[in-house]
Amino acid sequence: MNPEALLPLPAATFHILLAVADEDRHGYAIIGDIEVRTGGTLRLSAGTLYRSIQRMVEQDLIIETDERPAPEFDDERRRYYRITPFGRQVAKAESQRFASLVEQARALGLVPGRP
Amino acid sequence: MWFYRLLLWFCPASFREEYSREMEGVHRRRLAQAKGWGWIGVWMDAISDVVLTGLATHGSLLVQDTRYAWRTALRSPGFSLAAIAVSALGIAAATSVFSIADHVLVRALPFADPERIVKIWESQPTRGFSNVDVSPPNYRDWKAASRSFSHMAAFRGLSVNLSGTGEPERLEGASVNASLFPLLGVTPLLGRTMLEEEDRPGAPGTVVLSYGLWQRRFGGDPNVLGRQLLFDGQAYAVIGVMPPHFNFPGRKVQMWTAMRFDNEGYADRRNNFLSVAARLRDGVSLEMAQQEMQTVAARLAEQYPKDLEGVGVTVMRLRDELTTRTRTMLNILMAAALFVLLIAMTNLANLFLARSAARQGEISVRLALGAGRARLVRQLFTESLLLAGIGGVAGTALALSVIPLLARLAPSTLPVAAMPSADWRLLAFALLATGVTALGFGVLPALRSTRGQLSQRSATGVQKDRVRRILVVAQVAASIALISSTGLLLRALLKVENTNPGFATTHALAFRTSLPMPKYSSTALRERFYQGVLGELRALPGVTQASVISFRPLGDFRGGMWAPIVAGQESKVIAAARFISPGYFDTMRIPLLRGRDIQGSDDARTLRVAVVSETFVREHWPGESGLGKSFGVRFGNMQFTVVGVVGDVRFRGMERKIEPVMYFAHAQTPENAFFWFAPKDFMVRASIDPMVHLPEIRRIVARADPVQPISDVQALTELVEDETATRRTQVWVIAAFAIAAFLLAAIGIHGLLSFSLEQRVPEMGLRRALGAQTGQIAALVFGEGVGLSLAGSVLGLGVALLLGRTMESLLAGISPYDPYTLSAAVGLAVVMTIGGTILPVIRAVLIDPAIALRSQ
């Protein structure tokens, strides 16, 4: 499947992809990561998170993983999610879309800093 | 936490199973992190989050399942079309009948607070009458003495000649007390209704028009108020127009005038001609009002023992006035419609069971791959919902198109519109029927086909077959029950249609010229009018006879029913009084059995004569000829001598027992009396269809009196057909239901046998290979079909007998155990069995053992 077909991604989906891009995380850790990265402005609700996760699993953007990253911190009841290669492609495509949007905005003087 | 778990039930099972524990975990952490009263905010967020998530996931599942269902439906278009057609049929039957029954039986009448409106009648329990018209003095005394009612009003039918504005016309209306309109709580569309002071003798005439009359006759002119109309030559000013759906007391009424009584009008307690309506006072129940009225009536009966001996009172809700017959008929229709819906549902359930068997492979693979059972059931149910939904739309459209036909079953005497309106109630019912249908045929197969593990699949086949067998037996039973009910009603219809009315109906017509009073209060003047018109009618080419009578038989007026006084004793058996011109019996082909007809020479100067019907003679002078006997009537204290005896006629309805009739000579009517009984119905018999003479007939009447309208033109054949019109409609509807049921049941047998045969192909092949003959194979399959239809027929006949008993009142004397009907139903069951089994039998016989065994 062409990664472009899924764009633009819903905001929550993109954030979740970013959250699992560097390491496998469980649900609550995803919420926490997003909260930290957005400076507390985005706090996903449980419903939004798991509805997004359900769809992302169906779309093969992420998978549930059996491997536990750090056994000493692991709570075995939790489910961990990992980004798939396809998920990574989609995240890249979405980032590029944003980058080109930002380029255009900059050309119009809408982004602070260098023209 | 239990509350959070409960909340999660908002989400679809498939989602819940997967993520409820995780979501709970998140929620628990949030609660733990909340400080002070913060937990309130966390809970608020959680509630809205779960509800929104539930809605969204349900929505996306629905879209997904519908898309899947749509693709599945398109993949087997034959199956889908069959399912849609069958559900449309069932839903249409149920919805259309519901709409009529709701309209007639349930829906509130179009008046303010209609449950508090009652009708009050006199009753004569000793003579078996519960609803007798009320005499003016009794009405007056009831109204004065009772405390249970906030309003009481009397009204009566009225029929006048409208002239002075265009073509003269006969109008049906009602003469009412001023308090009737406030009683009903309906305000006029234009102008006002009568005032109390217009209710008195001597006040100027006023009239309120119906919406229909206003539109038809005055083009909806808003300036109609104040116009003067001539009713029977008297001036009435238009004071108001009622809104479109006001039909009181019945649908035929086109205008309302004030009813007035002077003291003389209140004199006779045995002159019963009023209808009385009343509105219960707040806080007074029907039972309380009944009790009070019993006391009032008992006191009156004590006060006037001579007139009111054995006279009581009946108080009933306006809505309950419906005849038992109408009720029974609608109940039967509802039962029949439910049968059709049930048959349709079982049929569909069978179709789906058969298909789920065919899809076993797909379903078990999906189960094995880990699809949740709830998810699969939901998906299968979405499929049946989709098909039932399309069927529901088609069925509702079908119902809307047949409602006008069914509307003929709504009696015109009810104060409701002729047609039920298609509104949210009908739509809600159609929706409900669709939902029930989908549940009925969707859930069972969905549950069954997803039950058990892959390894058990094949073992459940036998059990599934048993369910299908029971469903087929139920279909056969329901269709046999419907068929026998139809048969009974059809037999009753034929019997009524073949009843001899006592007169010949072909090539004859009746028309009405109601002569206005006091213009025609002189008997001689009326006689001149009749003779003039009759002379010209008889001269028309092809016309063989013509005559005139006070009320035509089977007409809309029961016309006088009087108790004759024979040998000084007032008879308990009332007889119809009819005033006629000479030649009436000849015109009607009523046989003159003894003596002579009324003659032109019987006039005011000669002895008062009467011709009576045979039943009259048998009643009063059994075993004698009756000729030369004399009897009297209370009205005008007249004495009559019998000069002729004629055959009986059914003048009050084809299904009533024959009642005695007295015919009097109109020329012998006393002056200035009996206006209501003045002849008005002309009867014309011809050697050709007399309808061709209608324009000439109008000209003849216009020549005799230019402002005299003619109305109620009817061929005598129509007169008799009208008697059976509701019966015929009813038989048509039930027959349509029965045919649908019959076809569905036959298809059901066929489907089941074909399906089980498919599963038994190897077995048949083996039997063949082991030397079974063609006959034996055929008998095997045929026997299975016979077993099904036998079980269904026995059950169905039992139900049919029960149904027959409940509708005995509609059967016109046909026994509910009528052997012809029952044997016809059995015969049809045989046809159904053969029709349903023939193809599977042929297919079984044609099985090639070699091929069948190789496929194993």
Residue B661 in contact with residue B611, Cβ under 8 Å? no
Give the chain B residue whose CA is nearest to the CA of A32.
B26
Contact A54 B45 (CB under 8 A): no
Average pLDDT of B360-378? 77
Distance CA B476, CA B699 (A): 61
> Which of B321, B356, B387 is the last residue in one of the domains?
B321
Tell me: do B394 and B256 sit in the same domain: no
**Can you give the pLDDT at residue B111?**
85
The whole-angstrom separation of Cα B769 and Cα B263 is 102
Residue B131's domain comprises 114-321
C-alpha B90/C-alpha B387 separation (Å) is 13
Which residues contact residue B26 at a Cβ distance below 8 angstroms, ignoring those fewer than 6 apart? A27, A28, A31, A46, A49
Residue A45: which of B19, B29, B49 has the nearest Cβ? B49
Nearest residue in chain A measured CA to CA from B11: A47
Same domain, B845 and B785: yes
Distance of alpha carbon B422 from alpha carbon B108, whole angstroms: 15
- Residues in chain B closer than 8 A to A54 (CB atoms): 15, 18-19, 57
User: pLDDT digit string (tens) for B606-637?
Assistant: 999 999 999 999 999 999 999 999 999 887 78
Q: Smallest Cβ distance to A47: which of B21, B25, B50?
A: B50
pLDDT at B464 over 60: no
Q: Which residue of A has its CA nearest to B43?
A: A45
pLDDT of amino acid A75: 57
Distance, in Å, from the CA atom of B393 to the CA atom of B390, rounded to the nearest integer, reads 5
- Between A66-80, B45-59, B182-196, B527-541, the lowest mean confidence (pLDDT) is in A66-80
- Residue B457 confidence (pLDDT): 45
The 10s digit of each residue's pLDDT in B662-719 is 999 999 988 877 777 889 899 999 998 888 888 899 999 989 988 888 888 889 988 8
**Residue of B8, B10, B15, B19 for testing the chain A interface, max A β-carbons within 10 Å:** B19
Same domain for B736 and B679, yes or no, is no
Q: Is B763 found in the same domain as B847?
A: yes
In A1-115, beta strands by DSSP E = 25-26, 62-65, 80-83
Cα–Cα distance, B108 to B105 (Å, whole number): 9
pLDDT for B456: 46
Task: Locate the chain A residue with the closest alpha carbon to B12.
Answer: A51
> What are the tens digits of pLDDT across the range B812-824?
888 888 888 888 8
**Are B317 and B292 contained in the same domain?**
yes
Residue of A nearest to B48 (CA): A47
Number of domains in chain B: 4
Judged against a pLDDT cut of 50, whether residue B455 lies above it is answered with: no
Domain boundary among B321, B343, B366: B321
- pLDDT at position B372 over 80: no
Return the closest-CA partner of residue B236 out of B175, B181, B182.
B175
- pLDDT computed for residue B594 by the predictor: 93
Of A39-53, B279-293, B401-415, give the lowest mean pLDDT range: B401-415
Asked if B532 and B422 sit in the same domain, the reply is no
Residue located via tokens 């797909």: B362
> Where residue A73 falls among pLDDT bands split at 50, 70, 90?
low
Listed by number, the residues of chain B in 10-39 with a beta carbon closer than 8 Å to a beta carbon of chain A are 15, 18-19, 21-23, 25-27, 29
Note the pLDDT tens digit of each residue in B86-123.
888 888 888 888 888 888 877 778 888 888 999 999 88
Contacts of B23 in chain A (CB under 8 A): 46-47, 50
- Asked if B272 has any chain A CB less than 8 Å from its own CB, the reply is no
Nearest to B52 among A47, A78, A79 (CB): A47
Q: Write B361-370 long-range contacts (CB < 8 A, 24+).
A: B363/B449, B363/B450, B364/B454, B364/B457, B367/B450, B367/B453, B367/B454, B368/B454
Q: Does B525 lie in the same domain as B485? A: no
Query: Residues 477..516 of B with a Cβ closer than 8 Å to A: which?
Result: none
Give the distance from CA B202 to its chain's centroid: 43
C-alpha B274/C-alpha B270 separation (Å) is 11
pLDDT at B601 over 50: yes
> Is pLDDT of B781 > 90?
no
Same domain, B39 and B178: no
Say whether B25 and A77 touch across the interface (CB within 8 A).
yes
Choose which CATH entry (1.10.10.10, 2.60.40.650, 1.20.1070.10, 1.10.3720.10) describes domain A7-107. 1.10.10.10
CB pairs under 8 A between A and B: 48
Task: In whole angstroms, give the CA distance from residue A98 to residue A89.
Answer: 14
Whether A77 sits inside 8 A of B53 (CB atoms) is no
Q: Are residues B546 and B694 in the same domain?
A: yes
Question: Which segment, A9-18, B100-109, B431-440, B783-792, is predicted with the most confidence on average?
Answer: A9-18
Percent of chain B with pLDDT over 70: 96
- Tens digit of each residue's pLDDT (9 = 90 or more) over B322-333: 767 778 788 888
Tell me, what's the pLDDT at B292?
93
Residue B164's closest CA among B255, B227, B240? Answer: B227
Partner-chain contact A45 B57, CB within 8 Å: no
Partner-chain contact A47 B15, CB within 8 Å:
no
Chain B residue numbers with beta carbons less than 8 Å from the beta carbon of A27 are: 22, 25-26
Give the tokens for residue B677. Answer: 């009984």
Instruction: Answer whether B29 sits within 8 Å of A51, measured CB to CB.
Output: no
Nearest CA in chain B to A28: B26
Q: Single out the residue in B267, B295, B321 at which a domain terminates.
A: B321
Compare CB distances from A28 to B18, B25, B46 and report the shortest one's residue: B25
Looking at the DSSP assignment, which residues form a beta bridge with residue B547?
Answer: B683
- Tell me the nearest-neighbour CA distance from B457 into chain A, angstroms: 29
The answer to whether residue B71 is domain-embedded is no
Same domain, B481 and B521: no
Taking the C-alpha atoms of residue B475 and residue B796, their distance in angstroms, rounded to an integer, is 9
HEC profile of B507-554: CEEEEECCCCCCCCCCHHHHHHHHHHHHHHHHHCCCEEEEEEECCCCC
Read off the tokens for A80.
């961990």
Q: What percent of chain B has pLDDT over 90?
A: 22
ipTM of the complex in this document: 0.82
What amino acid is encoded at A77 in this protein?
R
What was the pLDDT predicted at B510? 93
Contact in structure between B304 and B135 (CB atoms under 8 Å): no
The shortest C-alpha distance from A43 to chain B (Å) reads 11
At B554-587, the pLDDT tens digits run: 877 666 778 899 988 888 788 889 999 999 999 9
Query: Which of B21, B25, B53 comes nearest A47 by C-beta?
Result: B53
* B374/B491 same-domain check: yes
Q: Which has more pLDDT, B485 or B609?
A: B609
Count of helices and strands (H, E) across chain A: 4, 3
Nearby residues of B850 by Cβ (< 8 Å), 6 or more positions away: B765
The 10s digit of each residue's pLDDT in B642-667 is 999 999 998 888 877 888 999 999 99
Q: Which chain B residue's Cα is nearest to A27?
A: B22
pLDDT band at B463; cut points 50, 70, 90: low
Is the domain of B349 the same as that of B317?
Answer: no
Q: How crowded is residue B125: how many other Cβ atoms within 10 Å of its Cβ?
A: 11
Residues of B in contact with A47 (CB under 8 A): 23, 49-50, 52-53
Which of B221-230, B262-271, B297-306, B624-633 comes out lowest in average pLDDT?
Answer: B262-271
Q: Residue B721: is its pLDDT beyond 90?
A: no
Instruction: Determine the distance in angstroms separating the CA of B42 from the nearest CA of chain A, rounded to an integer.
Output: 10
The mean of the pLDDT values for chain B is: 85
Where is pLDDT greater, at B359 or B708? Answer: B708
Q: Does B63 touch chain A (CB under 8 A)?
A: no
Instruction: Look at B52 and A77 and tell me if their CB atoms are within 8 Å.
Output: no
Chain A: give the shortest CA distance to residue B460, in Å: 33
Residue A72 pLDDT more than 60? no
Report which of B836, B755, B824 is spatially closest to residue B789, judged by C-alpha positions. B836
In whole angstroms, what is the distance from residue B752 CA to residue B353 CA?
10
Contact present, B203 and B197 (Cβ < 8 Å): yes
Name which of A26, A30, A45, A78 to mutate to probe chain B: the one with the most chain B Cβ atoms within 10 A of its Cβ: A45
Judging contacts by C-beta atoms under 8 Å, the chain A residues touching residue B46 are 45-46
| CA-based nearest residue in chain A for residue B20 | A50
Q: What is the pLDDT of residues A18-66, one digit of tens each?
A: 999 988 888 888 999 999 999 988 888 888 999 999 889 988 999 988 7
Q: How far is A48 from chain B (nearest CA, A)?
A: 7
Report chain A residues whose CB lies below 8 A from the CB of B64: none
Gap between the Cα atoms of B181 and B193, Å rounded: 7
Mean pLDDT across the stretch B413-442? 80
pLDDT above 50: residue B303: yes
- Identify which of A45, A49, A50 has the shortest CB distance to residue B45: A45
Q: Is pLDDT above 90 for B775?
A: no
* Strands of B82-168, DSSP E: 117-124, 129-132, 149-163
For residue B7, what pLDDT is reported?
Answer: 85
pLDDT classification of B758: cutoffs 50, 70, 90: confident
